[in-house]
């Protein structure tokens, strides 16, 4: 019953999308006609039908309707309700339907404010957005249908991947998808702007809030995934330069550059070409990331699809999107006369864009290069943290300095106050000298990172004081974003340089002294949960230097549906550091491998990202006059 209903809704959505495109083209060709009530009704109907189809799939997971292949492969009657619901998007088919539902919702929300836009601009944007929805609906129905039946109907499902059975992973995909899919609306708007010759400032106003929304959700989505990886995968880190992590980072670079450029376009009517290209690139990179994740070309703990046919479909969609969008850009974009003399805020924003493009290119090459080498030479090449750290970190030092200087330069005017510049720089160097004396930090690169991040933090705090005194509250988003980024780099640097890690083998009842710590393996506990069995270790860790004693209880979880082992970390968190302990069994032995880590200032990395993300959403409805 749900299969028939769901498939009917998808087919109706396809027909509705075709009608919207045809009606919009007819309206465009008739210069005298207004946007008809039929188009209004069709957009509302399309969004309603697609959202109902997604809710139908969710309900199938809730009631464990194993007549649907997607539910059978990704759920189980013993799963807690939250993971049954999360299972609806914890697979390729369901996540693609969520993708389309969000894309349709963004189209509807853009349509609500149609009276603010010029007629041709709105209609071209609607045609582009609906065409994208149609492409993905065709992909869904022919290659990724979540409503396919299985006969005979099984009595039980195979279950959801155990590492996805986690609260952070329940919210991580929807947050990321709002960022990913939301970029489609300003992709379509860029097509509409090119086809309708809309004024640059009007175009900027129409997309500015959409960019803020997507940047905010993309940032928070990446944070949720990072926190999950930290405590769930047992590696003890927050970022591993995993190819699929990189796939979410690539559009973020474009969104960040776009967030800055669009305000210049609105205020100064400059960087129109930058804004158009970044709008197109952001969504194209989103599709490219989707191809990497779902085609099977990458091996990652994050991937959940391995089907060449699906990969081919996504590659076709990516090719059509790239060729069409950039074809329109080269045909319709007018040459922009960008005259900017001297060093001012516009200069720094363009410089920011080039930094973002450099980071994007570095991460992109590091992600796809191993794929090409394996295809061409059948040799597997690993590109990991050493590559990214070596290439990116030196440029981050310069970038942080520019982030401090740029916002304090004038629009089209003079450079910054050099007195303040040197005072802030000297203050950062002075604190760094104290750090070298107290902690013996000999790494030149780390000290440069420390100085430059402090420089940005101090400059931003001065900026916030000026804003409060002069009541320039429109600077609040910039202050949050820049302060959060400076703190993020500072805490990552401190965390990376002062973390400790110990890897030992112990059996129950044994004690190991290492460095200032005494690790005692007290005993093992065995018990059952609703859908898995647990082997839990009781550990006591004594810090002999501070006489601090902590109890740890890491777990090995044994899942039956599907049969999987997961290793759950035990983490003790305070404001200064995390202590992190995992255990894994050594086959045919009484010993267990124990990893104990001390990670300074870990919680402040998460707090920094939250502060930074507020920059994308603070004072959402107020127009900025400054960056």
- Count of beta carbons in the 10 Å neighbourhood of residue 594: 22
- Residue 345 sits at the vertex; the CA angle it makes with 339 and 348, to the nearest 5 degrees, is 90
Nearest alpha-carbon partner for 281 in 328, 338, 244, 325? 325
Integer Cα distance of 220 and 390 in angstroms: 27
| 556 token code pair | 């090995």
| 299 token code pair | 């091996």
pLDDT for 342 equals 61
β-pair type (532-543, 517-528)? antiparallel
Integer Cα distance of 196 and 190 in angstroms: 10
Span of 309-318, 559-568, 609-618 with lowest mean pLDDT:
559-568
CA of 51: how far to CAs of 72, 89, 126, 227, in Å? 22, 14, 18, 29
pLDDT band (50, 70, 90) for residue 413: low
Query: Which of the two residues, 190 and 30, has the higher pLDDT score?
Result: 190
Nearest alpha-carbon partner for 238 in 448, 499, 588? 499
Cβ atoms 619, 476 nearer than 8 A: yes
What is the average pLDDT across 423-427? 92
**CB-count burial class (<10 Å; 0-12, 13-18, 19+) for 179:** buried
Percent of the chain with pLDDT over 70: 92
| 395 token code pair | 């440029």
**Is 107's pLDDT higher than 90?**
yes
| 65 token code pair | 């309707």
**Is 89's pLDDT higher than 80?**
yes
User: Any bridge partners for residue 513, and if so which?
Assistant: 518
pLDDT for 624 equals 43
**Is 301's pLDDT higher than 50?**
no
Residue 8 belongs to some domain of the structure: yes
* Sequence-ordered list of residues with C-beta below 8 angstroms from that of 422, at least 6 positions apart, any chain: none
Integer Cα distance of 483 and 490 in angstroms: 11
Domain boundary among 107, 137, 161: 161
CA 238 vs. chain centroid, Å, equals 13
Task: Quote the number of domains for the chain.
Answer: 2
**Is 627's pLDDT higher than 50?**
no
pLDDT for 483 equals 94
**Average model confidence (pLDDT) for the chain?**
87
- Tell me 55's DSSP state: H
Q: What is the pLDDT of residues 338-384, one digit of tens each?
A: 666 566 778 888 999 999 999 999 999 998 888 778 777 777 777 88
**Is 328's pLDDT higher than 70?**
yes
**Is 543's pLDDT higher than 70?**
yes
Residue 417 belongs to some domain of the structure: no
Q: DSSP H helical segments within 521-601, as ranges?
A: none
Helix (H, G, I), strand (E, B) or coil at 335: coil
Nearest alpha-carbon partner for 71 in 46, 88, 89? 88
| Helix (H) or strand (E) segment spanning residue 520 | strand 517-528
Nearest alpha-carbon partner for 329 in 214, 430, 192? 192
Residue 585, by phi and psi: left (phi above 0), alpha (psi -120 to 50) or beta?
beta
What's the farthest any 2 CA atoms get from each other in the chain?
A: 86
Integer Cα distance of 220 and 215 in angstroms: 9
pLDDT for 616 equals 79
| 87 token code pair | 């299972």
| 153 token code pair | 């109907």
Integer Cα distance of 607 and 609 in angstroms: 6
Span of 32-41, 476-485, 576-585 with lowest mean pLDDT:
32-41
pTM of the entire structure?
A: 0.91
pLDDT band (50, 70, 90) for residue 25: very high
pLDDT band (50, 70, 90) for residue 452: very high
Span of 386-395, 415-424, 477-486 with lowest mean pLDDT:
415-424
Cβ atoms 305, 296 nearer than 8 A: yes
pLDDT for 509 equals 92
pLDDT band (50, 70, 90) for residue 66: very high
Q: What is the pLDDT of residues 195-228, one digit of tens each?
A: 998 988 999 999 999 999 999 999 999 999 899 8
| Helix (H) or strand (E) segment spanning residue 458 | helix 444-470
Residue 120 belongs to some domain of the structure: yes
**Is 472's pLDDT higher than 80?**
no
pLDDT band (50, 70, 90) for residue 32: low
What is the average pLDDT across 108-118? 84
Which range, 190-194, 381-385, 475-479, has the best average confidence (pLDDT)?
A: 190-194
Cβ atoms 594, 581 nearer than 8 A: yes
pLDDT for 160 equals 74
pLDDT for 561 equals 67
Query: Which of the two residues, 313 and 328, has the higher pLDDT score?
Result: 328
What is the average pLDDT across 31-49? 84
Cβ atoms 344, 412 nearer than 8 A: yes
Span of 68-82, 90-104, 180-194 with lowest mean pLDDT:
68-82
Residue 99 belongs to some domain of the structure: yes
β-pair type (500-506, 592-600)? antiparallel
Q: What are phi and psi of 150, to 5 degrees?
A: -125, 130
Residue 114 belongs to some domain of the structure: yes
Nearest alpha-carbon partner for 356 in 292, 422, 274? 274
User: Any bridge partners for residue 520, and if so which?
Assistant: 511, 540
**Is 623's pLDDT higher than 50?**
no
Which structural domain range is residue 54 located in? 1-161
What is the average pLDDT across 402-406? 88
pLDDT for 56 equals 96
Domain boundary among 121, 136, 161: 161
Q: Which residue has the tokens 């979410």?
A: 248
Q: What is the pLDDT of residues 562-606, one digit of tens each?
A: 778 888 899 999 999 999 999 998 887 889 999 999 999 999 999
Residues in the chain: 627
Sheet holding 592-600, edge to edge: 500-506, 592-600, 577-585, 570-573
* Sequence-ordered list of residues with C-beta below 8 angstroms from that of 232, at least 6 positions apart, any chain: 163, 166, 168, 169, 566, 568, 569
What is the average pLDDT across 86-113? 92
Residue 58 belongs to some domain of the structure: yes
pLDDT for 33 equals 67
Residue 17 belongs to some domain of the structure: yes
Nearest alpha-carbon partner for 307 in 330, 319, 320, 290? 290
Integer Cα distance of 502 and 541 in angstroms: 12
Percent of the chain with pLDDT over 90: 55
For the four alpha carbons of 43, 46, 50 and 52, in that order, the dihedral sign comes to positive
Residue 103 belongs to some domain of the structure: yes
pLDDT band (50, 70, 90) for residue 155: confident
**Is 414's pLDDT higher than 80?**
no
Integer Cα distance of 140 and 225 in angstroms: 26
Cβ atoms 408, 479 nearer than 8 A: no
Domain boundary among 107, 135, 161: 161
What is the average pLDDT across 168-173? 82
């Amino acid at each position: 019953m749900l299969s028939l209903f769901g498939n009917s809704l998808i087919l109706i959505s396809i027909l509705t999308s075709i009608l919207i495109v045809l009606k919009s083209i007819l309206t465009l060709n008739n210069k005298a006609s207004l946007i008809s009530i039929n188009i209004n009704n069709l957009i509302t109907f399309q969004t309603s039908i697609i959202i109902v189809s997604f809710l139908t799939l969710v309900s199938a997971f809730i009631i464990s309707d194993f007549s649907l292949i997607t539910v059978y492969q990704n759920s189980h009657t013993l799963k807690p309700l939250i993971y049954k619901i999360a299972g609806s998007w914890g697979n390729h088919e369901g996540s693609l339907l969520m993708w389309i539902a969000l894309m349709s919702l963004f189209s509807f929300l853009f349509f609500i404010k149609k009276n603010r836009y010029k007629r041709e601009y709105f209609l071209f944007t609607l045609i582009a957005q609906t065409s994208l929805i149609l492409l993905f609906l065709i992909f869904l129905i022919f290659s990724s249908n979540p409503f396919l039946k299985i006969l005979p109907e099984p009595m039980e499902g195979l279950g959801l991947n155990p590492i996805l059975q986690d609260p952070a992973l329940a919210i991580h995909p929807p947050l990321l998808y709002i960022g990913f899919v939301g970029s489609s609306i300003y992709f379509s708007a860029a097509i509409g702007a090119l086809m309708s010759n809309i004024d640059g400032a009007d175009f900027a106003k129409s997309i500015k809030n959409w960019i803020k929304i997507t940047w905010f959700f993309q940032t928070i989505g990446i944070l949720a995934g990072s926190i999950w990886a930290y405590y769930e995968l047992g590696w003890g880190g927050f970022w591993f330069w995993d190819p699929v992590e990189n796939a979410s980072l690539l559009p973020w670079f474009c969104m960040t550059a776009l967030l800055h450029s669009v305000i210049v376009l609105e205020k100064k009517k400059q960087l129109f070409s930058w804004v158009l290209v970044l709008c197109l690139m952001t969504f194209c990179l989103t599709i490219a990331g989707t191809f990497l994740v779902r085609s099977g070309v990458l091996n990652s703990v994050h991937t959940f699809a391995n089907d060449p046919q699906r990969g081919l479909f996504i590659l076709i969609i990516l090719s059509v999107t790239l060729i069409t969008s950039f074809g329109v850009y080269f045909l319709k974009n007018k040459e922009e006369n960008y005259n900017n003399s001297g060093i001012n805020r516009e200069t720094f924003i363009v410089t920011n864009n080039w930094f973002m493009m450099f980071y994007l290119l570095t991460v992109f090459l590091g992600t796809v290069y191993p794929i090409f080498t394996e295809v061409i030479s059948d040799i597997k090449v690993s590109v990991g943290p050493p590559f990214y750290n070596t290439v990116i970190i030196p440029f981050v030092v310069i970038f942080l300095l520019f982030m401090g200087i740029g916002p304090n330069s004038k629009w089209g005017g003079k450079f910054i106050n050099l007195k303040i510049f040197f005072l802030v720089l000297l203050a950062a160097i002075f604190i760094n000298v104290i750090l070298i004396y107290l902690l013996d930090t000999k790494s030149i690169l780390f000290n440069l990172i420390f100085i430059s991040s402090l420089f940005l933090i101090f400059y931003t705090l001065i900026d916030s004081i000026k804003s409060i005194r002069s009541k320039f509250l429109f600077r609040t988003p910039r202050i949050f974003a820049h302060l959060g980024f400076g703190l993020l780099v500072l805490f990552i640097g401190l965390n990376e340089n002062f973390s400790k890690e110990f890897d030992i083998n112990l059996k129950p009842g044994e004690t190991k002294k290492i460095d200032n710590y005494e690790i005692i393996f007290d005993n093992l506990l065995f018990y059952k949960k609703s859908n898995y069995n647990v082997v839990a270790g009781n550990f006591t860790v004594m810090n002999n230097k501070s006489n601090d004693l902590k109890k740890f209880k890491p777990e090995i979880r044994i899942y039956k549906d599907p049969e999987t082992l997961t290793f759950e970390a035990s983490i003790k968190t305070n404001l200064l550091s995390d202590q992190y302990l995992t255990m894994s069994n050594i086959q045919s032995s009484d010993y267990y491998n124990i990893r104990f880590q001390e990670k300074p200032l870990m919680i402040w990395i998460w707090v920094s990202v939250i502060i930074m993300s507020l920059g994308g959403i603070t004072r959402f409805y107020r127009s900025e006059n400054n960056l």
